[in-house]
Structure 1
Amino acid sequence: MLPTLYSDNGDNFIVIAHRGASAYFPENTMPAFRGAVEMGAEMIEIDVMMSSDGVPVVFHDATLADHTNGEGELADYSLEELRELDAGSWFGAEFAGEKIPTLEEVLQFARDRIAVNIEIKTEAVTDQERGGVEEKSLELVRKYGMEDHVLFSSFDYRAIAHIKALEPTMPAALLYNSQTSNKRLPSQLVADYSADAFNCSYKQLNRKRLLDIRLHNIPVFVYTVNQQQRMKKLVKMGVTGIFSDKPDLLRKVAENVNK
Protein backbone atom coordinates (compact mmCIF):
# COMPACT_ATOMS: atom_id res chain seq x y z
CA MET A 1 0.00 0.00 0.00
CA LEU A 2 1.87 3.02 -1.33
CA PRO A 3 0.75 6.56 -2.18
CA THR A 4 -0.54 7.32 -5.64
CA LEU A 5 1.71 9.63 -7.62
CA TYR A 6 0.19 12.67 -9.32
CA SER A 7 2.81 12.35 -12.06
CA ASP A 8 3.84 8.75 -12.71
CA ASN A 9 5.86 7.81 -15.78
CA GLY A 10 5.08 4.13 -15.24
CA ASP A 11 8.65 2.93 -14.63
CA ASN A 12 7.87 1.52 -11.15
CA PHE A 13 10.49 3.81 -9.61
CA ILE A 14 9.88 6.95 -7.53
CA VAL A 15 12.12 10.04 -7.70
CA ILE A 16 11.95 11.64 -4.25
CA ALA A 17 13.29 15.13 -3.59
CA HIS A 18 14.98 14.98 -0.17
CA ARG A 19 13.78 18.02 1.82
CA GLY A 20 12.87 19.36 -1.59
CA ALA A 21 15.54 20.02 -4.20
CA SER A 22 17.89 20.77 -1.33
CA ALA A 23 21.12 20.77 -3.33
CA TYR A 24 19.90 23.95 -5.01
CA PHE A 25 17.61 25.63 -2.47
CA PRO A 26 17.46 25.91 1.34
CA GLU A 27 16.10 22.61 2.60
CA ASN A 28 12.50 22.27 3.73
CA THR A 29 11.47 25.65 2.30
CA MET A 30 8.89 26.49 -0.33
CA PRO A 31 11.54 27.32 -3.00
CA ALA A 32 12.99 23.82 -2.50
CA PHE A 33 9.56 22.24 -3.00
CA ARG A 34 8.74 24.35 -6.03
CA GLY A 35 12.15 23.51 -7.48
CA ALA A 36 11.52 19.80 -6.95
CA VAL A 37 8.29 19.98 -8.94
CA GLU A 38 10.00 21.91 -11.74
CA MET A 39 12.78 19.29 -11.86
CA GLY A 40 10.30 16.45 -12.33
CA ALA A 41 10.39 14.87 -8.89
CA GLU A 42 7.48 12.51 -8.23
CA MET A 43 7.49 12.99 -4.45
CA ILE A 44 8.91 15.45 -1.94
CA GLU A 45 10.25 14.37 1.44
CA ILE A 46 9.63 16.74 4.33
CA ASP A 47 10.44 16.70 8.04
CA VAL A 48 7.78 17.58 10.59
CA MET A 49 8.35 19.01 14.06
CA MET A 50 5.93 20.73 16.48
CA SER A 51 5.94 24.34 17.63
CA SER A 52 5.45 25.08 21.32
CA ASP A 53 1.80 25.89 20.62
CA GLY A 54 1.18 22.57 18.89
CA VAL A 55 1.40 23.40 15.18
CA PRO A 56 3.16 20.92 12.83
CA VAL A 57 5.97 22.78 11.06
CA VAL A 58 8.41 21.65 8.38
CA PHE A 59 11.97 21.66 9.70
CA HIS A 60 14.63 18.99 10.14
CA ASP A 61 16.75 19.88 13.16
CA ALA A 62 15.74 19.94 16.80
CA THR A 63 17.74 23.16 17.12
CA LEU A 64 17.47 26.31 15.01
CA ALA A 65 21.01 27.66 14.73
CA ASP A 66 22.24 25.82 11.63
CA HIS A 67 19.35 26.65 9.32
CA THR A 68 17.87 29.88 10.67
CA ASN A 69 19.00 33.02 12.47
CA GLY A 70 17.39 31.69 15.66
CA GLU A 71 18.92 29.89 18.61
CA GLY A 72 17.89 27.09 20.93
CA GLU A 73 15.26 24.38 20.50
CA LEU A 74 12.54 24.70 17.87
CA ALA A 75 10.03 23.16 20.26
CA ASP A 76 10.45 26.15 22.61
CA TYR A 77 9.16 28.59 19.95
CA SER A 78 5.54 29.36 19.10
CA LEU A 79 4.50 29.38 15.47
CA GLU A 80 4.39 33.18 15.51
CA GLU A 81 7.97 33.29 16.83
CA LEU A 82 9.17 30.72 14.29
CA ARG A 83 7.62 32.70 11.45
CA GLU A 84 9.79 35.69 12.38
CA LEU A 85 12.98 33.74 11.68
CA ASP A 86 15.01 33.79 8.46
CA ALA A 87 15.28 30.22 7.14
CA GLY A 88 17.00 31.04 3.87
CA SER A 89 20.06 33.26 4.38
CA TRP A 90 22.19 30.37 5.66
CA PHE A 91 22.02 28.90 2.15
CA GLY A 92 22.39 32.08 0.12
CA ALA A 93 21.67 35.79 0.25
CA GLU A 94 19.07 35.43 -2.51
CA PHE A 95 16.94 33.35 -0.12
CA ALA A 96 16.98 35.88 2.73
CA GLY A 97 13.64 36.10 4.46
CA GLU A 98 12.39 32.62 3.60
CA LYS A 99 10.14 31.30 6.35
CA ILE A 100 9.81 27.95 8.07
CA PRO A 101 6.67 26.56 6.43
CA THR A 102 3.84 24.86 8.24
CA LEU A 103 2.78 21.37 7.21
CA GLU A 104 -0.53 22.90 6.14
CA GLU A 105 1.22 25.28 3.72
CA VAL A 106 3.20 22.43 2.16
CA LEU A 107 0.10 20.28 1.72
CA GLN A 108 -1.75 23.23 0.17
CA PHE A 109 1.08 23.52 -2.34
CA ALA A 110 1.44 19.77 -2.97
CA ARG A 111 -2.25 18.97 -3.47
CA ASP A 112 -2.93 17.99 -7.10
CA ARG A 113 0.78 18.53 -7.81
CA ILE A 114 3.17 16.13 -6.03
CA ALA A 115 3.05 13.27 -3.53
CA VAL A 116 4.58 13.81 -0.09
CA ASN A 117 6.65 11.68 2.29
CA ILE A 118 6.00 13.16 5.74
CA GLU A 119 8.80 12.19 8.11
CA ILE A 120 7.74 12.64 11.73
CA LYS A 121 10.83 13.67 13.67
CA THR A 122 11.59 11.75 16.85
CA GLU A 123 11.77 14.97 18.86
CA ALA A 124 8.07 15.57 18.17
CA VAL A 125 6.89 12.08 19.18
CA THR A 126 5.51 11.19 22.61
CA ASP A 127 3.97 8.05 24.07
CA GLN A 128 0.53 9.55 23.58
CA GLU A 129 -1.43 8.31 20.58
CA ARG A 130 -4.02 11.08 20.66
CA GLY A 131 -3.49 14.82 20.30
CA GLY A 132 0.12 14.63 19.14
CA VAL A 133 2.00 15.39 15.95
CA GLU A 134 0.73 12.23 14.24
CA GLU A 135 -2.97 12.97 14.75
CA LYS A 136 -2.56 16.64 13.85
CA SER A 137 -0.67 15.72 10.69
CA LEU A 138 -3.32 13.17 9.74
CA GLU A 139 -6.04 15.78 10.20
CA LEU A 140 -4.26 18.11 7.77
CA VAL A 141 -3.77 15.33 5.22
CA ARG A 142 -7.50 14.63 5.37
CA LYS A 143 -8.34 18.34 5.19
CA TYR A 144 -6.55 18.63 1.86
CA GLY A 145 -7.79 15.30 0.51
CA MET A 146 -4.29 13.84 0.20
CA GLU A 147 -4.89 10.52 1.95
CA ASP A 148 -3.95 8.62 -1.22
CA HIS A 149 -0.90 10.77 -1.97
CA VAL A 150 1.03 10.74 1.33
CA LEU A 151 3.51 8.33 2.88
CA PHE A 152 4.30 8.78 6.57
CA SER A 153 7.67 7.67 7.93
CA SER A 154 9.72 7.93 11.11
CA PHE A 155 12.82 6.63 12.85
CA ASP A 156 10.64 6.53 15.97
CA TYR A 157 8.57 3.40 15.67
CA ARG A 158 6.03 4.79 18.12
CA ALA A 159 5.00 7.26 15.42
CA ILE A 160 4.30 4.46 12.95
CA ALA A 161 2.28 2.59 15.56
CA HIS A 162 0.27 5.75 16.29
CA ILE A 163 -0.39 6.47 12.61
CA LYS A 164 -1.60 2.93 12.00
CA ALA A 165 -3.78 2.94 15.12
CA LEU A 166 -5.37 6.24 14.13
CA GLU A 167 -5.71 5.47 10.40
CA PRO A 168 -4.95 1.83 9.46
CA THR A 169 -5.19 2.50 5.71
CA MET A 170 -2.65 5.37 5.74
CA PRO A 171 0.60 4.31 4.02
CA ALA A 172 3.53 4.31 6.46
CA ALA A 173 7.18 3.33 6.21
CA LEU A 174 9.64 2.41 8.92
CA LEU A 175 12.87 4.39 8.78
CA TYR A 176 15.40 1.81 9.92
CA ASN A 177 16.66 2.52 13.43
CA SER A 178 19.39 0.09 14.46
CA GLN A 179 19.00 0.85 18.18
CA THR A 180 15.32 -0.03 18.40
CA SER A 181 15.24 -2.75 15.73
CA ASN A 182 17.08 -5.30 17.89
CA LYS A 183 18.51 -7.06 14.83
CA ARG A 184 15.06 -7.73 13.36
CA LEU A 185 14.95 -8.11 9.60
CA PRO A 186 12.84 -5.73 7.48
CA SER A 187 10.05 -8.30 7.13
CA GLN A 188 9.85 -8.69 10.91
CA LEU A 189 9.83 -4.94 11.50
CA VAL A 190 7.20 -4.26 8.85
CA ALA A 191 4.99 -7.00 10.30
CA ASP A 192 5.50 -5.88 13.92
CA TYR A 193 4.39 -2.31 13.18
CA SER A 194 1.92 -2.98 10.33
CA ALA A 195 4.08 -0.81 8.08
CA ASP A 196 3.83 -0.76 4.29
CA ALA A 197 7.43 -0.05 3.34
CA PHE A 198 11.01 -0.04 4.62
CA ASN A 199 13.29 3.01 4.37
CA CYS A 200 17.02 2.88 5.01
CA SER A 201 20.33 4.44 4.00
CA TYR A 202 22.22 2.95 1.08
CA LYS A 203 24.86 1.80 3.58
CA GLN A 204 22.24 -0.21 5.49
CA LEU A 205 20.89 -2.01 2.43
CA ASN A 206 23.17 -5.01 2.82
CA ARG A 207 22.77 -8.37 1.11
CA LYS A 208 20.88 -9.98 3.99
CA ARG A 209 18.30 -7.18 4.22
CA LEU A 210 17.92 -6.96 0.45
CA LEU A 211 17.27 -10.70 0.21
CA ASP A 212 14.66 -10.47 2.97
CA ILE A 213 13.00 -7.49 1.26
CA ARG A 214 12.82 -9.30 -2.06
CA LEU A 215 11.59 -12.54 -0.49
CA HIS A 216 8.69 -10.72 1.18
CA ASN A 217 8.03 -8.24 -1.65
CA ILE A 218 8.49 -5.20 0.59
CA PRO A 219 8.74 -1.74 -1.02
CA VAL A 220 12.12 -0.21 -0.13
CA PHE A 221 13.17 3.45 -0.29
CA VAL A 222 16.84 4.42 0.02
CA TYR A 223 18.36 7.70 1.25
CA THR A 224 20.24 10.04 0.63
CA VAL A 225 21.87 9.39 -2.74
CA ASN A 226 23.48 12.20 -4.73
CA GLN A 227 26.21 10.32 -6.59
CA GLN A 228 25.35 9.24 -10.12
CA GLN A 229 26.95 5.80 -10.11
CA ARG A 230 25.34 4.90 -6.80
CA MET A 231 21.97 6.01 -8.15
CA LYS A 232 22.45 3.83 -11.21
CA LYS A 233 23.40 0.80 -9.13
CA LEU A 234 20.38 1.12 -6.84
CA VAL A 235 17.91 1.68 -9.69
CA LYS A 236 19.27 -1.46 -11.39
CA MET A 237 18.82 -3.35 -8.10
CA GLY A 238 15.13 -2.58 -8.30
CA VAL A 239 14.61 -0.36 -5.25
CA THR A 240 11.19 1.28 -5.11
CA GLY A 241 12.52 4.80 -4.83
CA ILE A 242 15.49 6.96 -3.88
CA PHE A 243 15.70 10.14 -1.82
CA SER A 244 18.08 12.65 -3.38
CA ASP A 245 19.02 16.29 -2.90
CA LYS A 246 19.38 16.32 -6.71
CA PRO A 247 16.06 15.09 -8.11
CA ASP A 248 16.95 16.36 -11.58
CA LEU A 249 20.03 14.11 -11.73
CA LEU A 250 18.16 11.16 -10.24
CA ARG A 251 15.39 11.48 -12.81
CA LYS A 252 17.90 11.45 -15.68
CA VAL A 253 19.66 8.37 -14.27
CA ALA A 254 16.39 6.51 -13.76
CA GLU A 255 15.21 7.37 -17.27
CA ASN A 256 18.47 6.07 -18.78
CA VAL A 257 18.38 2.83 -16.75
CA ASN A 258 14.69 2.16 -17.46
CA LYS A 259 14.73 2.96 -21.20
Structure 2
Amino acid sequence: MVSYKFKILLLLFPSLVFCQSKVIFPKTQNNFIVIAHRGNHVDVPENTIESLQKAIEIGADYVEVDVRSTLEGVPVVMHDANVEQTTDGKGKLSEMSTIDFRNLKIKGTNINPPTLSAFLMEAKGKINLYLNIKEAEPTKIFALLERYQMNNNVVIYCSRTQIFQWKKVAPTIPIVTSPPFNIKTPFEFEAFILSFPISVLVGTYKMYDTIITQKLTEINIPIWLNTLEVEDNTESWNLAIKLVIKALQTDRPQELITFLQKNKLR
Protein backbone atom coordinates (compact mmCIF):
# COMPACT_ATOMS: atom_id res chain seq x y z
CA MET A 1 0.00 0.00 0.00
CA VAL A 2 2.83 2.41 0.79
CA SER A 3 4.43 1.77 -2.60
CA TYR A 4 1.09 2.37 -4.35
CA LYS A 5 0.58 5.72 -2.59
CA PHE A 6 4.12 6.68 -3.40
CA LYS A 7 3.66 5.91 -7.06
CA ILE A 8 0.53 8.04 -7.17
CA LEU A 9 2.52 10.85 -5.56
CA LEU A 10 5.08 10.58 -8.34
CA LEU A 11 2.36 10.97 -10.94
CA LEU A 12 1.21 14.14 -9.21
CA PHE A 13 4.74 15.53 -9.13
CA PRO A 14 6.39 14.50 -12.41
CA SER A 15 9.33 16.82 -11.80
CA LEU A 16 10.60 14.24 -9.35
CA VAL A 17 11.14 11.78 -12.20
CA PHE A 18 14.41 12.54 -13.95
CA CYS A 19 15.08 11.82 -17.59
CA GLN A 20 17.89 9.30 -18.07
CA SER A 21 18.45 9.86 -21.79
CA LYS A 22 21.54 12.03 -21.32
CA VAL A 23 23.40 9.60 -19.07
CA ILE A 24 26.69 8.47 -20.61
CA PHE A 25 27.89 5.01 -19.61
CA PRO A 26 31.64 4.40 -19.86
CA LYS A 27 32.63 2.28 -22.85
CA THR A 28 33.93 -1.22 -22.17
CA GLN A 29 35.55 -3.78 -24.43
CA ASN A 30 33.73 -6.69 -22.79
CA ASN A 31 30.03 -7.52 -22.66
CA PHE A 32 30.38 -8.86 -19.12
CA ILE A 33 31.83 -6.22 -16.82
CA VAL A 34 34.39 -7.07 -14.13
CA ILE A 35 34.73 -4.51 -11.35
CA ALA A 36 37.87 -4.87 -9.23
CA HIS A 37 36.81 -4.00 -5.67
CA ARG A 38 39.34 -1.47 -4.31
CA GLY A 39 41.58 -2.46 -7.20
CA ASN A 40 43.26 -5.80 -7.73
CA HIS A 41 44.55 -6.12 -4.16
CA VAL A 42 45.41 -9.82 -4.09
CA ASP A 43 49.16 -9.11 -3.78
CA VAL A 44 49.22 -5.37 -3.05
CA PRO A 45 47.32 -3.09 -0.62
CA GLU A 46 43.77 -2.07 -1.54
CA ASN A 47 42.86 1.43 -2.71
CA THR A 48 46.39 2.19 -3.87
CA ILE A 49 47.93 3.17 -7.20
CA GLU A 50 49.55 -0.26 -7.18
CA SER A 51 46.17 -2.03 -6.90
CA LEU A 52 44.89 0.17 -9.73
CA GLN A 53 47.84 -0.79 -11.92
CA LYS A 54 47.34 -4.50 -11.17
CA ALA A 55 43.68 -4.22 -12.22
CA ILE A 56 44.70 -2.54 -15.46
CA GLU A 57 47.27 -5.28 -16.13
CA ILE A 58 44.71 -8.11 -15.92
CA GLY A 59 42.11 -6.32 -18.03
CA ALA A 60 39.43 -5.44 -15.48
CA ASP A 61 36.76 -3.08 -16.80
CA TYR A 62 36.38 -0.93 -13.69
CA VAL A 63 38.21 -0.29 -10.45
CA GLU A 64 36.00 0.47 -7.46
CA VAL A 65 37.62 3.09 -5.25
CA ASP A 66 36.52 4.78 -2.02
CA VAL A 67 36.62 8.57 -1.85
CA ARG A 68 36.85 10.72 1.29
CA SER A 69 38.17 14.20 2.05
CA THR A 70 40.99 15.71 4.06
CA LEU A 71 40.70 18.67 6.44
CA GLU A 72 40.92 21.08 3.49
CA GLY A 73 38.26 19.17 1.56
CA VAL A 74 40.70 17.58 -0.90
CA PRO A 75 39.30 14.28 -2.26
CA VAL A 76 41.53 11.31 -1.44
CA VAL A 77 41.34 7.53 -1.68
CA MET A 78 40.56 5.82 1.62
CA HIS A 79 37.82 3.45 2.74
CA ASP A 80 37.69 4.12 6.48
CA ALA A 81 36.93 7.38 8.26
CA ASN A 82 39.87 6.68 10.58
CA VAL A 83 43.31 6.08 9.09
CA GLU A 84 44.74 3.66 11.68
CA GLN A 85 43.16 0.54 10.22
CA THR A 86 45.15 0.65 6.98
CA THR A 87 48.02 3.12 7.59
CA ASP A 88 50.71 3.98 10.13
CA GLY A 89 48.78 7.09 11.16
CA LYS A 90 46.07 7.78 13.71
CA GLY A 91 42.89 9.84 13.87
CA LYS A 92 40.10 10.93 11.60
CA LEU A 93 40.92 11.53 7.96
CA SER A 94 38.56 14.52 7.89
CA GLU A 95 40.70 16.20 10.59
CA MET A 96 44.01 15.50 8.83
CA SER A 97 45.77 17.93 6.50
CA THR A 98 46.39 16.87 2.94
CA ILE A 99 50.16 17.06 3.49
CA ASP A 100 49.93 14.74 6.51
CA PHE A 101 47.72 12.36 4.53
CA ARG A 102 50.22 12.20 1.67
CA ASN A 103 53.00 11.37 4.15
CA LEU A 104 51.15 8.35 5.55
CA LYS A 105 52.35 4.85 4.75
CA ILE A 106 50.12 1.85 4.17
CA LYS A 107 50.77 -0.60 7.00
CA GLY A 108 53.76 -2.86 6.41
CA THR A 109 54.77 -1.07 3.19
CA ASN A 110 56.48 2.02 1.87
CA ILE A 111 53.35 2.89 -0.16
CA ASN A 112 51.58 6.23 0.28
CA PRO A 113 47.78 6.34 0.06
CA PRO A 114 46.81 8.33 -3.06
CA THR A 115 44.85 11.49 -3.62
CA LEU A 116 41.97 11.18 -6.06
CA SER A 117 43.94 13.39 -8.47
CA ALA A 118 46.78 10.85 -8.55
CA PHE A 119 44.31 8.01 -9.05
CA LEU A 120 42.57 9.76 -11.94
CA MET A 121 45.90 10.61 -13.56
CA GLU A 122 46.97 6.96 -13.49
CA ALA A 123 43.58 5.62 -14.66
CA LYS A 124 43.06 8.03 -17.55
CA GLY A 125 42.84 6.22 -20.87
CA LYS A 126 43.40 2.82 -19.25
CA ILE A 127 40.36 1.84 -17.18
CA ASN A 128 36.98 3.05 -15.94
CA LEU A 129 36.39 4.00 -12.32
CA TYR A 130 33.54 3.20 -9.95
CA LEU A 131 33.77 6.01 -7.42
CA ASN A 132 32.28 5.02 -4.08
CA ILE A 133 31.57 8.34 -2.40
CA LYS A 134 32.05 8.04 1.34
CA GLU A 135 32.53 11.66 2.29
CA ALA A 136 33.38 14.18 -0.41
CA GLU A 137 31.84 17.19 -2.15
CA PRO A 138 30.39 16.43 -5.59
CA THR A 139 31.54 19.79 -6.98
CA LYS A 140 35.16 19.11 -6.05
CA ILE A 141 35.14 15.60 -7.47
CA PHE A 142 33.46 16.76 -10.67
CA ALA A 143 36.08 19.50 -11.09
CA LEU A 144 38.79 16.83 -10.94
CA LEU A 145 36.95 14.64 -13.42
CA GLU A 146 36.82 17.55 -15.84
CA ARG A 147 40.49 18.39 -15.28
CA TYR A 148 41.57 14.85 -16.14
CA GLN A 149 38.89 14.37 -18.82
CA MET A 150 37.42 11.39 -16.99
CA ASN A 151 33.76 12.51 -17.03
CA ASN A 152 32.80 9.77 -19.45
CA ASN A 153 34.84 7.07 -17.70
CA VAL A 154 33.25 6.96 -14.26
CA VAL A 155 30.11 5.90 -12.46
CA ILE A 156 29.22 7.30 -9.05
CA TYR A 157 28.06 5.14 -6.16
CA CYS A 158 26.46 7.21 -3.43
CA SER A 159 23.82 7.00 -0.74
CA ARG A 160 20.24 7.88 -1.60
CA THR A 161 20.58 11.16 0.32
CA GLN A 162 23.29 12.29 -2.12
CA ILE A 163 21.67 11.31 -5.41
CA PHE A 164 19.86 14.55 -6.24
CA GLN A 165 22.90 16.64 -5.36
CA TRP A 166 25.03 14.54 -7.70
CA LYS A 167 22.52 14.73 -10.54
CA LYS A 168 22.47 18.49 -10.22
CA VAL A 169 26.27 18.71 -10.42
CA ALA A 170 26.88 15.95 -12.98
CA PRO A 171 23.66 15.03 -14.82
CA THR A 172 25.36 12.85 -17.47
CA ILE A 173 27.32 10.62 -15.07
CA PRO A 174 25.55 7.34 -14.17
CA ILE A 175 24.48 7.08 -10.55
CA VAL A 176 24.73 3.71 -8.83
CA THR A 177 23.01 2.90 -5.54
CA SER A 178 21.66 0.06 -3.42
CA PRO A 179 17.90 -0.53 -3.09
CA PRO A 180 16.33 -0.46 0.38
CA PHE A 181 16.36 -3.86 2.04
CA ASN A 182 12.62 -3.72 2.71
CA ILE A 183 11.52 -3.68 -0.94
CA LYS A 184 10.82 -7.16 -2.30
CA THR A 185 8.42 -7.07 -5.26
CA PRO A 186 8.85 -5.91 -8.88
CA PHE A 187 6.23 -3.22 -8.23
CA GLU A 188 8.22 -1.87 -5.26
CA PHE A 189 11.44 -1.87 -7.29
CA GLU A 190 9.73 0.02 -10.10
CA ALA A 191 8.38 2.59 -7.65
CA PHE A 192 11.86 3.00 -6.19
CA ILE A 193 13.36 3.57 -9.65
CA LEU A 194 10.72 6.19 -10.38
CA SER A 195 11.61 8.05 -7.19
CA PHE A 196 15.34 8.49 -7.83
CA PRO A 197 17.37 9.39 -10.95
CA ILE A 198 19.59 6.31 -10.80
CA SER A 199 21.14 4.35 -13.65
CA VAL A 200 22.32 1.12 -11.96
CA LEU A 201 21.21 -0.94 -8.96
CA VAL A 202 23.70 -2.97 -6.96
CA GLY A 203 23.63 -5.49 -4.12
CA THR A 204 24.11 -9.22 -3.68
CA TYR A 205 22.34 -11.96 -5.63
CA LYS A 206 20.25 -12.65 -2.51
CA MET A 207 18.48 -9.31 -2.96
CA TYR A 208 17.05 -10.17 -6.39
CA ASP A 209 15.20 -12.90 -8.26
CA THR A 210 14.52 -13.52 -11.95
CA ILE A 211 11.15 -11.74 -11.85
CA ILE A 212 12.69 -8.60 -10.37
CA THR A 213 15.64 -8.64 -12.78
CA GLN A 214 13.23 -9.04 -15.70
CA LYS A 215 11.24 -6.01 -14.52
CA LEU A 216 14.41 -3.94 -14.14
CA THR A 217 15.54 -5.00 -17.61
CA GLU A 218 12.20 -3.84 -19.01
CA ILE A 219 12.70 -0.38 -17.53
CA ASN A 220 16.35 -0.28 -18.66
CA ILE A 221 18.01 -0.47 -15.24
CA PRO A 222 21.02 -2.82 -15.19
CA ILE A 223 22.02 -4.74 -12.05
CA TRP A 224 25.68 -4.91 -11.04
CA LEU A 225 26.07 -7.47 -8.27
CA ASN A 226 28.69 -7.72 -5.54
CA THR A 227 30.34 -11.03 -4.72
CA LEU A 228 32.75 -10.09 -1.96
CA GLU A 229 34.48 -11.74 1.01
CA VAL A 230 32.93 -15.16 1.81
CA GLU A 231 30.59 -14.89 -1.21
CA ASP A 232 33.44 -14.31 -3.66
CA ASN A 233 33.56 -17.79 -5.19
CA THR A 234 32.41 -19.78 -8.21
CA GLU A 235 29.18 -20.85 -6.52
CA SER A 236 28.13 -17.24 -5.95
CA TRP A 237 29.29 -16.22 -9.42
CA ASN A 238 27.11 -18.93 -10.94
CA LEU A 239 24.08 -17.92 -8.87
CA ALA A 240 24.55 -14.28 -9.82
CA ILE A 241 24.94 -15.06 -13.52
CA LYS A 242 21.71 -17.09 -13.48
CA LEU A 243 19.91 -13.81 -12.77
CA VAL A 244 21.03 -12.67 -16.25
CA ILE A 245 23.15 -9.82 -14.97
CA LYS A 246 26.14 -8.45 -16.87
CA ALA A 247 28.48 -7.15 -14.17
CA LEU A 248 30.12 -8.41 -10.99
CA GLN A 249 32.23 -6.64 -8.39
CA THR A 250 34.88 -8.90 -6.90
CA ASP A 251 37.99 -9.05 -4.71
CA ARG A 252 39.34 -11.74 -7.07
CA PRO A 253 39.20 -10.08 -10.50
CA GLN A 254 41.77 -12.31 -12.22
CA GLU A 255 40.00 -15.50 -11.11
CA LEU A 256 36.62 -14.08 -12.13
CA ILE A 257 37.92 -13.14 -15.58
CA THR A 258 39.28 -16.66 -16.05
CA PHE A 259 35.97 -18.12 -14.87
CA LEU A 260 34.00 -15.96 -17.30
CA GLN A 261 36.30 -16.85 -20.17
CA LYS A 262 35.93 -20.59 -19.46
CA ASN A 263 32.15 -20.16 -19.52
CA LYS A 264 32.33 -18.14 -22.76
CA LEU A 265 30.91 -15.03 -21.09
CA ARG A 266 33.91 -12.86 -21.80
CA 1:157–1:115: 2 relative to 1, 3 Å:
same
Q: Do the aligned partners of residues 22 and 189 (structure 1) sit closer, same or farther apart at CA in structure 2, a change above 3 Å counting?
A: farther
* Corresponding position of 2:258: 252
- Alignment pair present for 1:4 and 2:7: no
Q: How many residues align?
A: 239
SS of the residue 2:206 aligns to = coil
Q: Tell me how far 1:206 sits from its aligned partner.
A: 4.4
Per the alignment, residue 33 of structure 2 pairs with 14
Q: Secondary structure at the match of 2:143?
A: helix
Shift of 1:133: 1.5
1:207 to 1:71, Cα distance in 2 relative to 1, 3 A: farther
Contact 2:102-2:115 at 8 Å conserved across structures: no
Deviations along 1:88-128, one digit per CA (max 9) or x if unpaired, are 42xxxxxx12111111111111111000001101xx2xxxx
Larger radius of gyration between Structure 1 and Structure 2: 2
Match of 1:150 in 2: 154
- Map residues 122-137 of structure 1 onto 2, 5 A cutoff: 124=135, 133-137=137-141
**Does the Cα contact within 8 Å between 2:177 and 2:201 map onto a contact in 1?**
yes
TM-score using structure 2 length: 0.82
Q: Quick one: distance in 1 between partners of 2:224 and 2:177?
A: 10
CA RMSD in angstroms comes to 2.2
The equivalent position to 1:233 in structure 2, one of 239, 247, 255, is 239
Residue equivalent to 1:100: 113
Distance of aligned partners of 1:57 and 1:177 in 2 relative to their CA distance in 1, 3 Å threshold: farther
TM-score normalized by the length of structure 1: 0.84
Do the aligned partners of residues 85 and 244 (structure 1) sit closer, same or farther apart at CA in structure 2, a change above 3 Å counting?
A: same
1:111, 1:46 → 2: CA distance?
A: 14
Give ranges in structure 2 of 5+ residues lacking alignment.
1-22
In 2, Cα distance between equivalents of 1:64 and 1:253: 35
Bigger shift: residues 24-33 or 206-215: 206-215
Structure 2 contact 227–236 (Cα < 8 Å) conserved = no
Q: Find the residue that maps to 2:202 and give its secondary structure.
A: strand
For residue 247 of structure 1, report the CA deviation from its aligned partner: 0.7
* Counterparts of 1:112 and 1:56, CA distance in 2: 21
Q: Please, which of 78, 83, 86 is the counterpart of residue 67 of structure 1?
A: 86
Distance 1:38 1:49, change over 3 A: same
Consecutive unaligned residues of structure 1, counting only runs of 5 or more, are: 90-95, 125-131
Give the whole-Å Cα distance in 2 for the aligned partners of 1:191 and 1:3: 20
Equivalent position SS for 2:87: coil
The worse-fitting range, judged by mean Cα deviation, of 71-80 and 51-60 is 71-80
Partner of 1:128: none
Q: For residue 129 of structure 1, what is the aligned residue in structure 2?
A: none
Tell me by how many angstroms 1:147 deviates. 1.4
* 8 A Cα contact 1:68 1:85, kept in partner: yes
Distance 1:215 1:182, change over 3 A: closer
